[in-house]
Chains A and B, each alone.
Chain A
Amino acid sequence: MTSNIKINLLIDKPKYTADLGDNNYRVFTPGESITEQKDFMRGHGTYVENGEIKSSVVGVVKKINKLISVIPMKSKYTGEIGDVVVGRVTEIQKKRWKIDTNSRLDSVLLISSINLPGGELRRRNAEDEQSMRKLLQEEDLLSAEVQNVFVDGSLSLHTRSLKYGKLSQGILVSVSPSLIKRRKTHFHNLPCGVSIIIGNNGYVWVSPTVNVELEGQGGFTQNLEAVSKTDREMIVRIKNCILALSSCYVMIYDTSIMLAYEESLKYEPKDLLNQDIMYEVGFNAKQRLLMVNQ
């Protein structure tokens, strides 16, 4: 039996990004001095040595008044209050779940910061603590919002809104957190019948759109209805589009995903995994996005 195997060499990776220009910002590398002036404050990605502020990562400098920070090209997720995240339960402890959110330390979701089924303002009792596993098990996926950032950098999450909660059927796509654009809304129902949750932590959840009435149940029930083949193909297509965008270093948000989706329509969903096609789709979307933004 023969099958179609394509092996891609790293050398053949096209350098589409290089000729787009737009290199008018300066890249700082570790150990490089940013300023010797004393009246600046050091932010993330910098350190002070002999009175100089120096960069500790590779990235571009961002100045806010007197605060200098370097934004790295690639890093783990560092949370901010109000961010939408998608995470996976790693551990169940007393009164809390530990959630992997692609950050330096696992986040916590306290039992007091979720909506328990049946009555929002119910007191939490010992029985609830014992039945935590009924709500969320290890390896379950959920969407949540960052409630608080602890001193050590770990996050505290909450799901006190009907839009957050356990995720049932869909695909998780993991991209670099720096590719996610902070926007007003991170929940989108795309016109092609697919819903996406773009977590600020680089986890993107792609799922079939369900009716609003069914969804709003405080979200710890799973909808395990069969998903039709066309829906599944659409989900896979969107997933491959997101991967194409990420391989071309394009910001991921609703507009860019829709542009990539339109570019991908001439191919079968499975063909989008072919590296050449992936780059083509991503690159075309990038160019159209540049035109839209101008």
Chain B
Amino acid sequence: MNHELISPQGLRIDGRRQNELRQISIKLGVLDRCDGSSFYLHGNTKVIASISGPKHPSKASSKKDENFYFNVRVKFATFSKNGERQKVMKNSKLLGEFELNLKNIFKSVILVEKYEKSQLDLNIEILQTDGGSEICAAVNAATLALIDAGICMREYICACTASLTSDGIPLLDVSHLEEISGGPTLTIAALPRIGDHDQSVSFVELSQKFYLKDLNKIFDCALRGCEKIRAILDEAIRSNANETAISELTDN
């Protein structure tokens, strides 16, 4: 496949500009039987995240070396990928790495000292994927679910991808088609703050080689993407908070 990633008019394959995100739509509190949940739709990627806990640790999870039991489980639906029905990935290396990455990302942002001796379970169900950026959607969905559950966090944590055309133009938020067309893909998860520019990056993944001189450009593009996503998440959280406000919460 030899697609031009960006047309002379400056449009990408799916009609976006170079620094445009795919459409994001968010629902909070979608599941009744857990402590926090979210549904996150990013382009054609669909993810449901749910939180159960903090609760008393079950016996199976009590390892003595840890003080906070944080379990992450990721599940890909059999129908999640393009083409044929996939075999369910179970205990595969890839999935294990995915889970470990998520665990480390969120351990850096949850105020762990408040949850000593207790257990927190994060379950992520990936219903449909578009591009290898499942981890982005999973991170963003999990952030929303954690906030919905009322877990103490330092900041929103947002993840985003960026790529590079052969002419050295950075592309924000890579879709599946762009990914298989052969550019490098940079995935980052960061704690963006609105207003100031101090950002701490907690996760970086790179799929291919590219010139070092382009690194700043592509990195910056992905960080801007994280900021944009943060604004979208924040808006969704606020409107949900207003909808679900308990009228007497303030004077109780």
Contact = CB atoms under 8 A, between A and B. Distances in A.
B47 to A, nearest CB: 15
Contacts of A290: 247
A23 interface: yes
Most buried by A among B115, B116, B234, B242: B242
Interface residues of A, number: 43
A58 interface: yes
B116 A152 contact: yes
B250 interface: yes
Given A76-B150, A104-B54, A30 B248 contact: no
Given A29-B237, A71-B249, A104 B55 contact: yes
A251 B56 contact: no
B243 A76 contact: no
A182 B36 CA distance: 24
Interface in B21-59: 27, 29-30, 35-36, 39, 54-56
Given A71-B249, A105-B56, A251-B252, A23 B152 contact: no
Interface in A229-288: 249-251, 286
A7 interface: no
B178 interface: no
B147 interface: yes
Given A27-B241, A49-B154, A56-B154, A286 B247 contact: yes
Nearest to A76: B54
Given A104-B54, A181-B252, A56 B152 contact: yes
Contacts of A71: 249
Interface in B196-252: 234, 237-238, 241-250, 252
Nearest to B27: A10
Contacts of A251: 246-248, 252
Chain B interface, DSSP helix/strand/loop, else mixed = loop
A179 interface: yes
A71 B237 CA distance: 15
A23 B242 contact: yes
B173 interface: no
Chain A interface, DSSP helix/strand/loop, else mixed = loop
Contact of B30 (A10, A23, A58, A104): A10
A171 B206 CA distance: 54
A20 interface: yes
A47 B154 CA distance: 8
Interface in A161-196: 178-179, 181-182
A249 B153 CA distance: 24
B156 A31 contact: yes
Contacts of B56: 90, 98, 100, 104-106
A178 B35 CA distance: 13
A290 B251 CA distance: 14
B121 interface: no
Most buried by B among A20, A30, A105: A30
Given A27-B238, A47-B111, A251-B252, A58 B243 contact: no
A133 interface: no
Contact of A75 (B150, B153, B243): B150
A15 interface: yes
A45 interface: yes
Given A47-B154, A105-B117, A17 B238 contact: no
Nearest to B233: A29
B99 interface: no
A22 interface: yes
A72 interface: yes
Most buried by B among A49, A57, A106: A57
B115 A18 contact: no
A14 B111 CA distance: 35
Interface of B: 27, 29-30, 35-36, 39, 54-56, 111, 115-118, 147-156, 191, 193, 234, 237-238, 241-250, 252
Q: Which 9 A-B pairs have the closest CB atoms?
A: A75-B150, A31-B155, A72-B150, A56-B152, A106-B56, A27-B241, A104-B54, A30-B153, A104-B118
Interface of A: 10, 15, 17-18, 20, 22-23, 25, 27, 29-31, 45, 47, 49, 54, 56-60, 71-76, 90, 98, 100, 104-106, 152, 178-179, 181-182, 249-251, 286, 290
Given A59-B150, A182-B252, 14 more contacts: A10-B30, A22-B245, A29-B238, A49-B154, A57-B150, A58-B147, A58-B237, A73-B241, A74-B35, A74-B36, A74-B150, A104-B55, A105-B118, A250-B246
